[in-house]
Amino acid sequence: MNSAGTITGCLTAALACAFLSAPVAEANPVAAQQLPVSVPSIKQWQPGGDGEFALRDGARIVAGGALREPAALLAEDLTRAGRPVSVTSDAAAAGDIVLEENAAAPAPSESYRITSGDRLTITAHDTAGILHGTQTVLQWLRQRTTLPAGTADDWPDYSERGLMLDTGREFLPVDWVEARIRDAAYLRMNLVQLHLSDVQGFRLESRTHPEITSPQHYSAADLREILDYARSYGVEIIPEIDMPGHMNAILAQHPDLVLRPERTTPLDAVQADLVGGSNGGKIDLTDPAAYRLISDILHEFLPQFPGRYWHIGCDEYVSDYSRYPQLADYAVRTYGPGAAPGDVIIGFANWAADIVESFGKTPRVWNDGFDHPGVLSPKPELVVGYWSASAGGLPWLPGGRTPADFAAAGHPLLNAAFTPTYFTTGGPSAALNAPPELLWAWDPGLFVDGQRLPEAERSLLRGSMLFLWCDDPNALSPEQIVAPVRERLPIMAQQLWSGTGGISYPDFRSRTGAVGWP
């Protein structure tokens, strides 16, 4: 075993012990003899007598108004699964599936109720809950066409449950992206983050700066198709154009804006390998032209995404500021005496956040850019994806701001713990991929530094994602990536919806096999 493999093995064993001993969320899995299984498992099931629902030949999905689209999608999915149904707005009859928005339905956001009797009725107080209910029904009816009488009530533990796709490094075709959106929706997840720019490419079609658009990119029509598809299944797209680091593809056309160290070290090449590219990916934040370019990009693309969020990035910019004295000089000139070089990226994040907020969106960032504070503080509105405890080293080593530090300042948090939420297709970081069993043993409240938020601030933890990174875009083809993602995505969905308590990992693997994929 090589040294990286040795580190990985020891780390996995140590973390497994920690995670297996950590408290896990309680779940109330439905007994196998009562209902078909679902992934993630539903929260509550109350049997309702000796009757049953039977999906008969000629069955219909009854829905009106805004629910006609979810009804049509469910009809397509059931028909494709060999359970042909039609859609109508007529009165429901025995054997029909009914979709109803109802203000008296379970109140938590995304919650839903399924009542099984002579008909099968999905009720929720919002469309998100209806869509989640249709996916549970789809999973059940793919397994069998009869269901016992009773009532299921279901809701998620965490408000953010998602998948991140690194299409900046490896271009992922439109139909492939849509298939992963569909996978996420099938598991009642609600977010897909698209990492759209990095070392190997800028994947959006730019009119204001056409020189930065890579040959492999999403046209405006492609983007609309992806966004419309995601919306139809209740999945929100979070776009990320990573700045002020990881801008290689952009800066290849603007070499005059590259931040250059005044001294180099032998570690530069190692660092370049670990982050997937040369130090040319850092833009010089002391140059006013850098802000003009970034402003152009933000103003062009922010209106093209209808969701609530925009991810600025702010990761892996500078860890050793002594090599960049120009940043220290700029900080003092711009923010006054006492300012530190780390204030430059905090100032940048706040400046970019103002632009994002001017479009009615909430900015998101990675945590490690804020590990060198001075006189400035990041805006508390920034949603922080916490992936690394270290100020420039391995993500498990201490030295940076803790999750509790961010929570104390009012930041909502996404737990993006490098281990075990990351899967990297190739490159040095691939040796650190956690096995699915470790993701199962983990729980979303445990951050990469081994800490949890104080009880008073745990409401700031929104959830987590499975993060797909393509550090080596030639390591795995898009088709080869599907299997490891599908192995891990159901685990993340279970963790975030109802927890893993009361379910063994072998049992869960059996459940994922039973529900299959849409």
SS3 of 256, please? helix
Same domain, 106 and 183: no
Helical H segments across 337-464, by residue range: 343-358, 403-408, 418-421, 436-441
Two tokens at 404?
Answer: 């509790």
Same domain, 67 and 186: no
Nearest-angstrom CA–CA distance, 183 and 163: 10
pLDDT given at position 186: 98
pTM of the model: 0.92
The list of the chain residues with pLDDT below 70 reads 1-33, 106, 265-279
Specify if 444 maps to a domain: yes
pLDDT given at position 280: 76
Rg for the chain, CA atoms, rounded: 24
Last residue of a domain, one of 128, 154, 180: 154
102: domain CATH number is 3.30.379.10
Specify if 7 maps to a domain: no
Same domain, 169 and 150: no
SS3 of 252, please? coil
Same domain, 224 and 203: yes
Same domain, 133 and 168: no
Q: How far is CA 300 from each of CA 209, 257, 305, rounded to the nearest angstrom?
A: 9, 20, 10
Q: Is the dihedral of CA 389, 314, 354, 324 positive or negative?
A: positive
Same domain, 124 and 49: yes
Contact 420, 395 (CB under 8 A): no
Contact 489, 481 (CB under 8 A): no
Specify the number of domains making up the chain: 2
pLDDT given at position 373: 83
Same domain, 145 and 291: no
Tens of pLDDT, residue by residue over 167-216, are 999 999 999 999 999 999 999 999 999 999 999 999 999 999 999 999 99
The parent domain of residue 269 ranges over: 158-497
The pairing of strands 160-166 and 191-195 is parallel
Same domain, 179 and 268: yes
**Residue 478: CB partners within 8 Å, gap ≥ 6?**
170, 172, 173, 176
215: domain CATH number is 3.20.20.80
Kindly tell me the number of DSSP H helices and DSSP E strands found in the chain: 15, 16
Same domain, 327 and 456: yes
pLDDT given at position 263: 75
Specify if 449 maps to a domain: yes
Q: What are the phi and psi torsion angles at 423 (to 5°)?
A: -130, 120
Specify if 121 maps to a domain: yes
Same domain, 289 and 433: yes
Specify if 191 maps to a domain: yes
